[in-house]
Every structure is written in C-alpha cells, then in structure tokens.
Amino acid sequence: MRSRWRPRLVALDIDGTVVDLDGRMPDGVRDAVRRVTEAGVPVVMSTGRSWLATRPIVDLFGLPHGLHVTSNGAVVSTYPPLHIVHEVTFDPRDVIERVRAETDALIAVEEVGVGYRVSADFPAGELHGLCRVQSLEELMAEPVSRVIVRDPDAPDGEFLSLAERLGLHGVQYWVGWSAWLDIAPRGVHKAAGLDVVCAREGIDRADVLALGDGFNDIEMLAWAGRGVAIGDAADEVKAAADHVTDTFADGGTVAELERWFA
C-alpha cells in the first residue's frame, strides 16, 4: 500500500457490512459514510441484493446521484433517478432444468427494477417488489440476470452439496444464508460490476477501497486497491483481503472508513 494512498472510490457490501443481520444500521456507520461523501468521494453499494432491496439503503445514507452494483455484479445502475446502465443476462433453461431434476426448491428469476418471477411464493419479506408466479417453462423463456434457488426447509449445508451435484457450466454461484443459492453468468461478480463503475468514473481500481464480509465479496476484495474484510467474515474471505478490520458489532466498518475519512 502506497504511503500516501487515499481512496478515490469506496465500495460497500450491505448485509454484514453496513447493516446487521436484522437489517439495522448503527448511527456510526451512517455518520462515517456521510464523511466519505462530504470529502467528495463516491460511495458505491456493491451487493448481492436486487436494486429494489438496495434503494432503501442508498436513501438512508442520502447518497447523491451515483452508480451502484447490484445482483452480485450483474446489474449496474445510476440513482437517483434509476437508470440501468449495464446488465448481463444468460439463458436460464439449463440451470432451471438441472435444479428441478435435483430438488423441489423454490426458483425465482429477477426482473430488474420490478421484482421477480417465481415458481411459487417465497417466505414473506425475502423478495422485494412485484412477484409473479409462473410455470417453469415461463421462467425459462427469456434471458435473466440471475436465478435464485431457495428451500426454507433444507437443513444447513445441503445447498453446498446441491451446487456440487448440479455440475453447472458457464455460470457461477454463491451459497447464501438459509439454503439460498444465487446463480449468475460465469465471470459476473461484484468486481466485474465495479470495473464498469470505474470505467465510467475514470478511476483506477488501485484507488478503490472495498469492504465486505461474504463469499460473494471475495472477487471484489481481491480486485480492489485496498480490500478489507469485516472481522465476522469466513477465513476464505479474509484470505482474499488486504486487511481484516474488527467485527461489525465492534465497529469494524466505521474504523476502516475513519482511517481515511476522520
């Protein structure tokens, strides 16, 4: 790290990085992000959430017009107002057919800025926006930015073995909380989305500070000039980072931001 290095862009994961697992944002995080924007440095949300689930966080921070990376890098948009500037899609047929051959889990495909098309209703509060129940054939009928597989009744760890059994090609996946599997086109991840942001902003990735705590943050933390893992992160995530800060509850996010924006 260069001795005079300072971030020219800050990329933040959301869950476990700026809000806790119950969705609560400490005042210290809000104040620290405000100091970043007051310094004239763009703050980019870089998250696995859909845009509709990301917007309340952007609004809570009161961020100015800027770029954000959602759906694990498949979607880049500006807000406010919302304008999608980049979206990567793929044909979901092979994925959905293979998933259905292995499990009766719920399946959803995202409609950016609208909601989801789903095989059946998901548990309340898990998906944001309009949800339309459709047949599998309808779900497979057109390209999508991602496929979500969810089984509320599956035991912990089952989706790890499910992902291995699927043997999917041309895509990548992240296993999330509570038997949740996100499937995206190969090469689509948060770092790829941030590449789009940096190209549009004229910023080198070496000048990016990125914070995250999840497996879907690994590429982003390795890509950024300074990648910082929250102390709650798994060992594999910490290994990809340049630095490991304190846990979220102990103010790790705030401590890292205050290092550069006191």
State the residue range of the domain holding 223: 9-87+188-260
pLDDT at 5 exceeding the cut of 70: yes
Co-location of 173 and 213 in the same domain: no
The percentage of the chain sitting over the pLDDT mark of 90, rounded to a whole number, equals: 82
SS3 label, residue 226: strand
What's residue 34's pLDDT? Answer: 98
Co-location of 76 and 198 in the same domain: yes
Find how far residue 98's CA is from the centre of its chain: 24
pTM for the full predicted model: 0.93
Domain boundary among 152, 185, 218: 185
pLDDT at 170 exceeding the cut of 80: no
Strands 226-229 and 243-244: parallel
Give me the mean pLDDT over the 99-120 stretch. 94
What's residue 3's pLDDT? Answer: 64
SS3 label, residue 176: strand
CATH of the domain at 255: 3.40.50.1000
Residue 3 lies in a domain: no
Co-location of 157 and 215 in the same domain: no
What's residue 240's pLDDT? Answer: 98
pLDDT at 1 exceeding the cut of 70: no
Domain boundary among 164, 185, 206: 185
What's residue 166's pLDDT? Answer: 80
249 φ, ψ to 5°?
-60, -30
Indicate the pLDDT class of residue 173, thresholds 50, 70 and 90. confident
Indicate the pLDDT class of residue 156, thresholds 50, 70 and 90. low
Q: Around Cβ 38, how many Cβ atoms within 10 Å?
A: 9
- Torsion 183-203-258-80 (CA) sign: negative
* Cis-peptide into 81, omega within 30 deg: yes
Residue 97 lies in a domain: yes
Q: How much is the mean pLDDT over the chain?
A: 93
The percentage of the chain sitting over the pLDDT mark of 70, rounded to a whole number, equals: 97
Residue 63 lies in a domain: yes
* Chain segment 28-53, per-residue pLDDT in tens: 999 999 999 999 999 999 999 999 99
